[in-house]
Amino acid sequence: MTDSVQKPIGLGADHAGFALKEALKKALTGWNVAFEDLGTHDEQSTDYPDYAHAVASGITSGRFRLGVLVCGTGYGMSMAANRHPGVRAACCTEAFGARMARQHNDANVLCIGSRIVGSSVAEDLLKSFLDAKFEGGRHARRVAKIDSGA
């Protein structure tokens, strides 16, 4: 897996997701995937919406091609990121779901709960998410309805 010519992936985590984010950074480096770490940078208590909004804003501005957000459950990050038009954040706990979120829903942000999955499962989730491509076709019509609210 190489990512030498594509935009980087935006990473964000709150204090509960910090350690898992660090593990995912090592995996991305090993896979030669460019990323930008938007924090947090330690385990001091923080507010997850700050990082969700930073990554989601990077998606909507075109700065990042995809995003990864980690908190205790992944749910708070997903809710906050999905407030941004055009962001489709999926909270996943297994590789099949991560792959399908990309293939059928054109998810552009993967949310992971550090208190739900361990680092090896999180790496599998991330690899599945990155390797999958949106299939378009009938799924494009459905995704358009997500964005339009229709």
Band the pLDDT of 2: cuts 50, 70, 90: very low
71 among known catalytic residues? yes
Residue 98 has pLDDT above 60, yes or no: yes
Residue 94 has pLDDT above 60, yes or no: yes
Amino acid sitting at position 75:
Y
Q: Could you say which of 15, 41, 92, 104 is catalytic?
A: 104
Q: Could you say which of 15, 41, 53, 71 is catalytic?
A: 71
Domains of the chain: 9-148 (3.40.1400.10)
The mean per-residue pLDDT over the stretch 119-127 comes to 98
pLDDT of residue 111: 98
pLDDT of residue 4: 43
pLDDT of residue 1: 47
Predicted TM-score (pTM) of the model is: 0.94
How many CA atoms lie within 13 Å of 37's alpha carbon, on the beta-carbon side?
18
Average pLDDT, the chain: 94
Residue 70 has pLDDT above 90, yes or no: yes
Q: Beta strands of the chain (E only): which ranges? A: 9-13, 35-37, 66-71, 89-91, 109-113
139 among known catalytic residues? no
